């Protein structure tokens, strides 16, 4: 399955909420919508990460695919960038860790130059906002609805780099 299909769920939620978030909407309600967007965003990130690793491992060897499926079925929200970079990718060898670091560095530099935003910071922000909203009931008061959506879109670049790394 193409990895971009995994983003459809969150994209649909964002499209729906974007129609509701107007300048006249109560700012507190707008921020709550941002919290729901963060939850949907991290959900699709997690599904995409699982798919990337499971597809890669299954193509390498059926036994590796089975082990990887068991391992990644239990990640449940453990999708911080640092975890992906330092725990998940290294499971498949130094070759892939190096390749991922190179792709992230390249894309991050290019994206920063073109958009003046850092994809890794955006990705990490979404994960933090999701955790605060889902586990503590706190809304992302430091970000607007539009900033949460933009961070989700920027964070997709991290997933795309991971996807292009985990290729035989």
Q: What confidence tens digit (pLDDT) does each residue in 84-103 have? A: 999 999 999 999 999 999 99
The 3-state DSSP class for residue 51 equals helix
The 3-state DSSP class for residue 59 equals helix
| Per-residue pLDDT at 72 exceeds 70 | yes
- Identify the band that residue 8 occupies on the pLDDT scale cut at 50, 70 and 90: very high
pLDDT reported for residue 109: 98
**Residue ranges of the domains in the chain?**
7-166
pTM of the model: 0.93
13-37 residue pLDDT tens: 999 999 999 888 888 888 899 999 9
Instruction: Report, as an integer, the average pLDDT of 2-19.
Output: 90
The 3-state DSSP class for residue 10 equals helix
pLDDT reported for residue 3: 76
């Amino acid at each position: 399955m193409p990895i971009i299909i995994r983003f459809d769920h969150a994209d649909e939620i964002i499209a729906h909420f974007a129609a509701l978030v107007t300048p006249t909407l109560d700012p507190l309600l707008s921020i709550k919508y941002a919290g729901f967007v963060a939850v949907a965003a991290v959900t699709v990130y997690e599904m995409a990460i699982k798919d990337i690793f499971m597809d890669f491992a299954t193509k390498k060897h059926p036994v590796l695919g089975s082990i990887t499926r068991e391992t990644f079925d239990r990640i449940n929200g453990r999708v911080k960038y640092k975890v992906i970079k330092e725990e998940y990718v290294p499971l498949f060898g130094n070759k892939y860790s190096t390749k991922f670091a190179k792709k992230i560095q390249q894309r991050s530099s290019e994206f920063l130059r073109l958009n003046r935003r850092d994809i890794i910071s955006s990705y990490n922000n979404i994960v933090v906002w999701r955790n605060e909203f889902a586990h503590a009931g706190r809304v992302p008061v430091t970000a607007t609805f539009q900033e949460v959506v933009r961070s989700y879109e920027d964070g997709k670049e991290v997933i795309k780099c991971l996807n292009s790394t985990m290729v035989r």
